[in-house]
Copies of this chain bind each other. A is one copy, B any other.
């Protein structure tokens, strides 16, 4: 792996687990095995620039999981429940360490670091678009699909948070089941 990519991955992992404020350049340098000089060489904008790259990286990682899981099932309700199950298993496998890759940084940046906030909002929008696209392709009208996609992503995010803080798969398992029921209730 190239040095720059190693730096981004380490930043993404650290900010996923501990957030933006707690993550220092020295720790990023240590975790990635890159010198501090090398970190500054690739990211002259420092921690703010690194945070944007980390948000992009985490956003893409989550989008890849979503896309693959949504494609595995024909029925969108079953597919969304499968996404929630996938998140529950990932959460348990990481011993409740790896929640949403970008949520802490997104919340910390809101109203104070607008470039980071904007990057996070773009990633959230991309996730919603994946869900919305799946619903449209299976016959849901455009506005219903768009609105459901909002609630699907909100619910998965909130349930992931609850699962992490409560160290339990249950919030995600229940979210998947309830979202499937909601989606089915709008079935065209």
A-side interface residues toward B, CB under 8 Å? 17-19, 21-22, 95-97, 99, 103-104, 106-108, 110-112, 117, 120-121, 124-125, 147-148, 150-151, 153-159, 161-162, 164-166, 170-171, 174-175, 177-178, 181-182, 185
Docked pose: A13 CA to B104 CA in angstroms: 17
Whether A117 touches B178, Cβ cut-off 8 Å, given contacts A21-B22, A104-B104, A110-B99, is no
Q: Can you tell how many copies of this chain the complex includes? A: 2
Q: Is the CB of B111 within 8 A of A95?
A: yes
Whether A157 touches B151, Cβ cut-off 8 Å, given contacts A182-B181, A182-B182, is no
Q: Is the CB of A148 within 8 A of B104?
A: no
Whether A106 touches B165, Cβ cut-off 8 Å, given contacts A22-B21, A96-B111, is yes
